[in-house]
Amino acid sequence: MSPRRMPAASDAVGWREEPLRITVDGEPVDGVAGQTIAGVLLAAGRLAWRRAPSGAPRGVFCGIGVCFDCLVTVGAERDVRACRRRARDGDVVTTQSRGTGDGEPPDAPRGVDEGGEVPHGDDL
Ligand code: FES
């Protein structure tokens, strides 16, 4: 489980997590029922999962379904806003990027650059 989630023993309400697992580009990623796909990705440390045509990394920007920065493919459905779609156990998520013009989409970013910096502001 991710260290970003509250441990069950610390939850004063006594809420219990119901685990789920999705795959993202073939990799299993664990989450809990009620999280959005973006929430699962963020909790797993993935801050960006696609690239804009300029090559800039994209992930969650608004978090409320307005900006479309968080688009993914879920099953056969393209252009799903990850911040608006609840993750379901077994979801098959594929990251998507608009091509850069060379016919090949760029690799999906992993969220943190090699220097350990988290991209933000104009970097996203
Ligand atoms: S983060 Fe803006 S639409 Fe999902």
- CB 15 within 8 Å of CB 9: no
Q: Which atom of ligand 1 is nearest to the CA of 82?
A: 4
pLDDT tens, position by position, 27-75: 999 999 999 999 999 999 999 999 988 889 999 999 999 999 999 999 9
Q: Give the pLDDT confidence score for residue 26 in this predicted structure.
A: 96
Sign of CA pseudo-dihedral 79, 82, 87, 91: positive
Token output for 2: 């991710």
∠ CA 81-107-1, rounded to 5°:
60
Nearest in space to 41 (alpha carbons), one of 18, 54, 59, 65: 59
Q: Give the pLDDT confidence score for residue 57 in this predicted structure.
A: 93
- List, in order of start, the domains of the chain with CATH numbers: 17-91 (3.10.20.440)
Distance 114 CA to ligand 1 centre (A): 25
pTM (predicted TM-score): 0.71
> What percentage of the chain exceeds 70 in pLDDT?
71
pLDDT tens, position by position, 8-35: 677 777 777 899 999 999 999 999 999 9
Dihedrals phi, psi of 94, to nearest 5 degrees: -120, 130
Q: Which atom of ligand 1 is nearest to the CA of 68?
A: 3
Report the alpha-carbon distance of residue 59 to residue 110 in Å, rounded. 10
Token output for 76: 């056969």
pLDDT band at 3 (very low <50, low <70, confident <90, very high): low
Dihedrals phi, psi of 12, to nearest 5 degrees: -65, -25
Q: Give the pLDDT confidence score for residue 2 in this predicted structure.
A: 53
Q: Which atom of ligand 1 is nearest to the CA of 65?
A: 3
- CB 45 within 8 Å of CB 114: no
Distance 12 CA to ligand 1 centre (A): 31
Q: Give the pLDDT confidence score for residue 9 in this predicted structure.
A: 73
Only one residue has tokens 């688009």, namely 71
Q: Give the pLDDT confidence score for residue 5 in this predicted structure.
A: 65
pLDDT tens, position by position, 71-114: 999 999 999 999 999 999 999 999 987 654 444 444 444 444 44
Report the alpha-carbon distance of residue 66 to residue 11 in Å, rounded. 32
